[in-house]
Structure 1
């Protein structure tokens, strides 16, 4: 194998030790990169881990669906200390479990996979600018 480094806009041949030391890599890292090299000279993208774009878009759609569902319920101001709080309250017969079950029913009717209970609860607790209390 021939090791070269760019020096003054030219490629100069160097020994293996200098090549590895200059780049701060190991011989194994070089071998791995060469194995992943494609015919056009590009290195193949890493295929492990990470979230795919389709999953991110799906999560954003689910989040928006949950927000839309929560916003369909009427809210009331507190009749105590209105001047001191911006909290909004739901009707006494509503709670996160009831609301989630209603959301699941709506999603099932539309044949859409519903969001998880934990995602619904997280969005319910922190739905943006509004402050919900039961």
Structure 2
């Protein structure tokens, strides 16, 4: 396996997620420190989320047309986002594996070419086991640590 740390840059990551179910909205924010790296036509953000249940390792892979979010540890999840089509993913819990489907409404990203900073924005409807569970707005802002 490749050691990404030699080619990666330490970044500060600001993640904001807004979940809307019917008339109700909830917003969550997380500030974490992680790594940014590029491989092929994609860029990656790798960071940890520490919660009561334990630590979740998260990898976000972004290309021009698609995004992938992989989570492992306390939470195991795989979600794929593509504006052209609905994508299937999965969420593993102690109750078993649940099928997730994402209907991506908006997928965009910007990158500053002179330094390691940018953002990634995602808007999607999440469907679990065939039932809609809510609309999600996610924005990730990353900036090279000084």
Common fold: TM-score over 0.5: no
Greater Rg over alpha carbons, structure: 1
Q: Normalized against structure 1, the TM-score is what? A: 0.21
Higher helix share: 1
Q: Normalized against structure 2, the TM-score is what? A: 0.20
Higher strand share: 2
Which structure has more relative contact order (CA 8 Å, sep 6+)? It is 2
